[in-house]
Amino acid sequence: MHRAIDIYGSKIGIVSGDRAFTYREFGTRAERLASGLTQMGIAPGDRIAFLSFNNHQLLEGYYGVIQAGAIVMPLNVRLTPVELTDILRHSGARMMVFENDFSPIAAQLRTACPNVEYWVSIDACVPPANVSYEQIVSQGRPGRAGISSLDETSIAELFYTSGSTGTPKGVALSHRTLYLHALSVALLYDRPETMVELHTIPLFHANGWGRPQVSTMLGVKQVMVRRFDPVNVLDLVQLHRATDMCVVPTMAQALMQAVASAPGKWDTSTLRRVMIGGAASSPELVERMETAFPGCECMAGYGLTETSPVATTSVWKGIPYGSEVERVRRQAMAGWPIVGTEVRVVDAEMRDVPRDAAAIGEVVVRGDQVMDAYFHEPEATRAVMTGDWFHTGDMAVWDEESYINIIDRKKEIIISGGENISSIEVEKAIASHPAVLECAVVAAPDDKWGEVPAAIVLRKPGATLTEDELRVHLEGRLGRFKIPRIIEFHDDPLPKTGTGKIRKLVLREKYWTGKEKRVQG
């Protein structure tokens, strides 16, 4: 932030709704926030929770809270009050900053969380707030924190995992971790001097994929997307001449659907790069995105909240592709490690599996951007670490070029009749049908095979697709044992996390209700 003020101070840096701030104005507000928090008695190490969609106040919190020596803790707005209560209690948060949209939820939380001392409304002061965000900023003074006195290993950010794979755990990211991660990710930016970044990924998710720090450091114009809506995103692309954005596959599908429904409505010619993460991509998705947005590169990456989050990228590394098919295939992979990061694919004994793009192992990561610990969870931390290596729980293959290709989550491999089936592989085959908008494949119990794949499919509006037609489509793409035994068509969007990842545990529960175990032996 200080670099942005000094070097890009007069440049429009942040656009949020109908408000725009130069980097000097934005930085001053963040400094005032820091001073205001200190005047209220916020002490180093205090946790400051935010319950908010993307806006300039949440981005100010990324800087102002930690300049005050406190810990910024953005919360997933899609969590239930019960889940949020557990997080606020576990973290010992001292302050909750919330958008007025969430005042009814905040009222419930205030009753359940007496440990939270301050309740701050982002807009006008409404119950249960006892102070407004602007009051804190207005009473603060601009001024820079003394960096020399800062312990770089102290916690700056605390992100609780979404809970899509179990009980949320707080991922503690230090100042040093975030700074070194930002430097590594900055090397991936393309022409930052002319970039216009759309913050399509919620800032409450996985450190906003590292974009808030890097874009600020490089003076990139950042446009806040309050919440993802494909029409609104395309409007913002046209209005602000956006060049870059990040999406998960379901977001990409929604954007392509919007473009297809209104050909020629939006000028998206300024788009240069769309990064796909959060879930495994496919060559078909990359190809369709580049067709829908001519002149725009679409490529994948990979990471987790625990790795700040970026660990790998499929950005071209200068080695010629053998063909256009090979280019698209490579860009759909998780890719190769970013600078400062070591990534391996290993077996249960931590031995590298062969680099033949066929042998499956678990992805482990070592580097400065790996979290220091799960907050107040020493046993959970030890369970995911082997020395300096962090176990991701993701299964993958790799090759001689160090490209990683994610096969599945360790816990989502379907074991049917002794055969391992990747739910992601089956989902990619289903998604390749032109009538499919989104899908999920989960394990369902079976008396004979133990588990079988079950597919839940949402068709594109107006499209027709039968179970038999989908099976015929899959026969040429999957081995017979991988073709789902159960196919269900849903009329409503599938349940998702805050960033649009499909909540497979929710879908899976239907098939396992009443069973003593969630696996069949």
CB 373 within 8 A of CB 217: no
Sign of torsion over alpha carbons 278, 282, 285, 289: positive
Say what the pLDDT of residue 283 is.
93
What distance in Å separates the CA atoms of residue 392 and residue 331, rounded to the nearest whole number?
21
Quick one: how far is CA 366 from the chain centroid?
20
Tell me how far apart the terminal alpha carbons of the chain are, to the nearest angstrom: 54
Domains and CATH numbers, the chain: 16-142 (3.40.50.980), 181-340+369-383 (3.40.50.12780), 413-512 (3.30.300.30)
pLDDT tens sequence across 334-365: 999 999 999 999 999 999 999 999 999 999 99
- 302 membership: H or E segment, kind and range: strand 297-303
Say what the pLDDT of residue 162 is.
56
Say what the pLDDT of residue 519 is.
41
Average pLDDT across each block of 10 residues of the chain; the chain has 521 residues. List them in order.
97 98 98 98 97 98 96 92 92 97 96 96 92 97 87 96 66 98 97 98 95 98 97 98 94 94 97 92 94 97 96 96 97 97 97 96 97 96 96 95 91 80 91 95 89 95 95 90 95 85 89 62 37
What distance in Å separates the CA atoms of residue 55 and residue 223, rounded to the nearest whole number?
9
Q: Phi and psi for 513 in degrees, rounded to 5?
A: -55, 130
3-state DSSP percent of the chain in helix, strand and coil, to 5: 35, 25, 40
Nearest CA-CA partner of 394 in 273, 330, 309, 298: 309
Say what the pLDDT of residue 520 is.
43
pLDDT tens sequence across 312-329: 999 999 999 999 999 999
pLDDT tens sequence across 136-179: 999 999 999 877 888 999 999 999 985 444 568 999 999 999 99
What distance in Å separates the CA atoms of residue 2 and residue 507, rounded to the nearest whole number?
46
Say what the pLDDT of residue 340 is.
95
Cis bond before residue 128 (omega within 30° of 0): yes
Q: How many CB atoms lie within 10 A of CB 294?
A: 9
pTM metric for this prediction: 0.87
Query: What six digits make up the tokens of 230?
Result: 């494909």
Say what the pLDDT of residue 518 is.
43
